[in-house]
Amino acid sequence: MSAVAPAREAGFSLVEILVSVFVFAIIGTISVALMASSVGAREINSDVLERTAMIDRARTLLREDLGQIARRAVRDEAGYRDPWILAGAATGLADYETDATERVLMVFTRHGRANPGLIRPRSSLVHVTYLIRGGDLIRRVRDYPDPGKATRIIDQVLIAGGEDFTVEFLVGAVWQNRVFLSQTGQGVMPAAVRVRYDLPPLGAMEHVLLTPEAQP
Average pLDDT of the residues in 101-128:
81
Closest CA to 148 of 124, 127, 117: 127
pLDDT at position 98 is: 86
The answer to whether residue 153 sits within a structural domain is: yes
Cα separations in angstroms, 57 against 43, 60, 158, 197: 21, 5, 7, 15
pLDDT at position 15 is: 63
Each residue's pLDDT tens digit, 127-160: 999 999 999 999 999 878 888 777 888 999 999 9
pLDDT at position 143 is: 79
Q: How far apart are CA 67 and CA 29, in angstroms?
A: 57
The answer to whether residue 140 sits within a structural domain is: yes
Average pLDDT of the residues in 65-71:
94
Q: How far apart are CA 184 and CA 105, in angstroms?
A: 22
The answer to whether residue 43 sits within a structural domain is: no
pLDDT at position 182 is: 92
Each residue's pLDDT tens digit, 181-200: 998 888 999 999 999 999 98
Q: Is 135 exposed, middle or buried (0-12, 13-18, 19+ CB in 10 A)?
A: middle
Calculate the average pLDDT of the chain.
84
The answer to whether residue 208 sits within a structural domain is: yes
pLDDT at position 80 is: 82
Share of the chain above pLDDT 70, in %: 76
pLDDT at position 45 is: 76
Average pLDDT of the residues in 79-108:
93
Q: How far apart are CA 153 and CA 75, in angstroms?
A: 15
**pLDDT greater than 70 at residue 107:** yes
The answer to whether residue 26 sits within a structural domain is: no
**pLDDT greater than 90 at residue 119:** no
pLDDT at position 39 is: 54
The answer to whether residue 57 sits within a structural domain is: no
pLDDT at position 124 is: 79
∠ CA 14-18-23, nearest 5°, is 150
* CATH number of domain containing 194: 3.10.610.10
Domain extent at residue 99:
62-214
The answer to whether residue 32 sits within a structural domain is: no
H-only helix segments in 90-145: none
Closest CA to 123 of 106, 107, 109, 140: 109
Each residue's pLDDT tens digit, 18-46: 667 667 667 767 766 666 555 555 555 77
Domain count within the chain:
1
Q: How far apart are CA 106 and CA 97, in angstroms?
A: 11
**pLDDT greater than 80 at residue 14:** no
Q: How far apart are CA 55 and CA 51, in angstroms?
A: 6
The answer to whether residue 113 sits within a structural domain is: yes
Each residue's pLDDT tens digit, 153-179: 899 999 999 999 999 999 999 999 999
Cα separations in angstroms, 13 against 5, 18, 26, 122: 22, 9, 20, 86
Specify the pTM: 0.77
